[in-house]
Amino acid sequence: MAALTVVLFAILFYWRLVLVRDLDVLSTVFWFLWPDLAALLPIAVTTRGARAWPRWGPYLYNLVHSFLPWAAVFGIVWIVTTAIPWPLLGWPAHISLDRSVGYYLRHPGSA
């Protein structure tokens, strides 16, 4: 996963930004932050002041931190726009970065 992270960052920030000069950096940063925003904002709103996450919290977090939803969104955007959505590579870069350090969530009741 660490190698995938390095490759994605090289594609985005060296090849697309430095060499080709067509990368929308703000959009790429948004998509890099998207998995945490999509998971943690609903969890934070639901738990206001509570000590524990809602039971569905880890499932939502792990869903947006997997490659399957990203691949579906990437494929749909690519088909609809007929152009490769380069900023969307920020999403798998975030996922691979998290996974390369072994970070994922489990519900406290699961083994």
* Residue-range domain boundaries for the chain: 2-100
pLDDT digit string, tens, across residues 9-53 = 899 889 888 888 888 999 999 999 999 999 999 988 998 888 888
Q: What is the pLDDT of residues 50-94, one digit of tens each?
A: 888 888 988 998 899 999 999 999 999 999 999 999 999 999 999
pTM given for the model: 0.83
CA distance readout (Å), 80 to 22, 36, 62, 74, 88 = 20, 26, 27, 10, 14
Look at residue 51 in the predicted model and tell me its pLDDT: 81
pLDDT at residue 1, as a whole number: 81
List phi, psi (to 5°) of 94: -65, -45
